[in-house]
Amino acid sequence: MTAQARRLVLATRNPGKVREMGDLLSGLPVALTHLGELPDPPELSEPHETFADNAREKALTVARATGELALADDSGLMVDALGGAPGVRSSRFAGEGATDAELVAKLLVEMQGVPELRRAARFVCVLVLAGTEGEIGRWEGQVEGRILTEPRGEAGFGYDPVFYYPPAGMTFAQMTPAQKNEVSHRARALADLRRDLPVILRCL
């Protein structure tokens, strides 16, 4: 950590999110850590019905437990044919503790018989930066695509193998990390955060 760097705790244990957020925040005057590296991390909950409220809850919980700046991401997949589900319950769509493969399998079962023209979906990400006194900033990113009938690709995590991104002609799981980081919902939200964070840090 340089003398100028500010410690920033990522409010997640998800290794995929940690990797993506670390890549996308590289070069900023922050020293990143995450819940998996803390000796006594707080337990997080996602009790709300919006990504923004859940992200805020997690960021405030971590900031107040650690006394550090905290950055929380709440993100998920919204499928038009399922009325916006799985939405804020994306990580729990197949039950608590479900694996990525189980999440994908559950989604494909729910989408059986849905024609291609009705398989539109989007990934949504909301980021909230918080300190011990409250929320400091909020950023959102979205990316449009559609749900395939079977997985393609081995990279990524979560629903990436069945989320087809038409401009690239492939799923998120077929992309390299660099390719995904150019277009993903999380990349779009983090790009706005990157723009704003140096100014925020100077003001804190």
The CATH number linked to 140 is 3.90.950.10
Within-domain flag for 65 = yes
The pLDDT tens digits along the chain (204 residues) read 444 689 999 999 888 888 888 988 989 989 999 999 999 999 998 899 999 999 999 999 999 999 999 999 999 999 999 999 999 999 999 998 899 999 999 999 999 999 999 999 999 999 999 999 999 999 999 999 999 999 999 998 999 999 999 999 999 999 999 999 999 999 999 999 999 999 999 888
Residue with tokens 């011990």: 132
Q: How far apart are CA 170 and CA 153, in angstroms?
A: 9
Residue 95: which region, alpha, beta or left (left: phi > 0; alpha: psi -120 to 50)? left
Lookup: tokens for 45 = 């909950």
Phi (first) and psi of residue 126, to 5 degrees: -120, 130
Within-domain flag for 198 = yes
- Residue 13 has what pLDDT? 87
Which of the following is catalytic: 73, 74, 100, 160?
Answer: 74
Q: Count up the domains in the chain and report the number.
A: 1
- Residue 103 has what pLDDT? 97
- Residue 17 has what pLDDT? 84
Partnered with residue 180 across adjacent β-strands are none
Q: Which range of residues forms the domain containing residue 78?
A: 6-203
- Residue 75 has what pLDDT? 94
Q: How far apart are CA 51 and CA 110, in angstroms?
A: 22
Within-domain flag for 1 = no
Known catalytic residue at 74: yes
- Residue 5 has what pLDDT? 82
Within-domain flag for 24 = yes
- Residue 3 has what pLDDT? 46
- Residue 1 has what pLDDT? 43
Within-domain flag for 131 = yes
Within-domain flag for 159 = yes
> Do 4 and 202 meet the contact criterion of CB atoms below 8 Å apart?
no
Enter the pTM of the model.
0.90
- Residue 15 has what pLDDT? 85
3-state SS, one letter per residue, for the chain = CCCCCEEEEECCCCHHHHHHHHHHCCCCCEEEEEHHHCCCCCCCCCCCCCHHHHHHHHHHHHHHHHCCEEEEEEEEEEEHHHCCCEHHHHHHCCCCCCCHHHHHHHHHHHCCCCCHHHCEEEEEEEEEEEECCEEEEEEEEEEEEEECCCCCCCCCCCCHHHEEECCCCEEHHHCCHHHHHHHCHHHHHHHHHHHHHHHHHHHC
Within-domain flag for 106 = yes
Within-domain flag for 81 = yes
- Residue 2 has what pLDDT? 45
